[in-house]
Amino acid sequence: MRFKGIFRAMSGAAVTLGLLSQASAEVPEIRLAKQFSMGYLQFNVMDHQKLIEKHAKLMGISEVKVTWQVFNGPAAMNDALISGNIDIATGGVPGLLVVWSKTKGTPQEIRGISALTSQPVLLNTTNAALKTIADYKEGDKIAVPAVKSSVQAITLQMAAAKAFGPKEFAKLDPLTVSMTPPDATIALLSGSSEVTSVFSVPPFQFQQLESPKVHTVLSSFDVMGGSHTFTVAWTSAKFRDKNPVLYKALIAALKEATDIVNKDKRAAAALWIEDSKSKLPLDMVTKIVAAPAARWTMTPEHTMIYADFMHEVGTLKQKAASWKDYFFPEIYDLNGS
């Protein structure tokens, strides 16, 4: 009986060791997603130069499976993140804030990884009668990547609150329609749809302005009182906690990619053209990447302006006391806001 007990113990230990060996043999995976714009240049660089794989290997992970997806708007992306179909999401600050507020204090809590870039988004139109947002009336359709949830939609609400009073923040919401930036640009320039205004993203907003019939009604810098974060990356605490080494590799890859973009903006522009299969000339895209108003940085800038507004109007149930409430600690040493 004693020997049977020893045998059973040895067999159990062997099974346990076998499971551990099998788990260690599994290839870690990280699934990243981005949206339509030039706000994700670091991701283009990370993909082409295999930076996540590079830093994972330096940290002891010999192999990692990295996949990339493209979404339009934060709602679908956040649904994919919460359901476990992606690991890393990206978009405007409001997209992060909505999912952070929704998941705060739960096992699925989601926070920001870092900012990606600060730059303006522009509300452009072909309607010569529209000089300010006060000129918009019924029938003046405004294309945004996603109604009521995209950075453009929230910025438009903030502009309406300033122009018409806080209680009228949603006054222009009925005029908005969801369209991808490429499709919205085609609709605006061709005049083939009811859309006569587009609250867009770079480079499409600048492509629109190449037409003499297009002018800018509003810049997000006007609404925010200056430069602000345009795009950020975020993930779940579950993914971060389950993959501590891989998460450190991701942070290191983001840092290196940000340095690469800042050192050679023309090369970064070329990667964006290649990845998006854009027909825009390299000189034009380089000019956009290197514009004085465009800064490629991991530091969150004026994100609390969005957080405060969205809480005041009821979009966010959770009130943030600081930008650090909705970002993970790895970037707390940065001078964020």
* pLDDT per residue as tens digits for the range 90-146: 999 999 999 999 999 998 899 999 999 999 999 999 999 999 999 999 999 999 998
The pLDDT of residue 11 is 47
Strand partners, 176: 142
Note the Cα 106 to chain centre separation in Å.
22
The pLDDT of residue 26 is 58
Sole residue written with tokens 């490629």: 296
Sole residue written with tokens 């049977």: 4
Series of mean pLDDT values for 10-residue runs along the chain (337 residues): 46 42 61 88 95 97 94 82 94 95 93 98 97 96 92 97 97 96 94 92 93 97 96 96 97 98 96 90 95 97 98 96 98 97
The phi, psi pair for 69, rounded to 5°, reads -135, 160
Sole residue written with tokens 């990370």: 46
Task: Compute how many other C-beta atoms are within 10 angstroms of the C-beta atom of residue 46.
Answer: 25
191: left (phi over 0), alpha (psi -120 to 50) or beta: left
Q: Which domains does the chain carry? A: 29-118+230-331 (3.40.190.10), 122-224 (3.40.190.10)
The pLDDT of residue 52 is 98
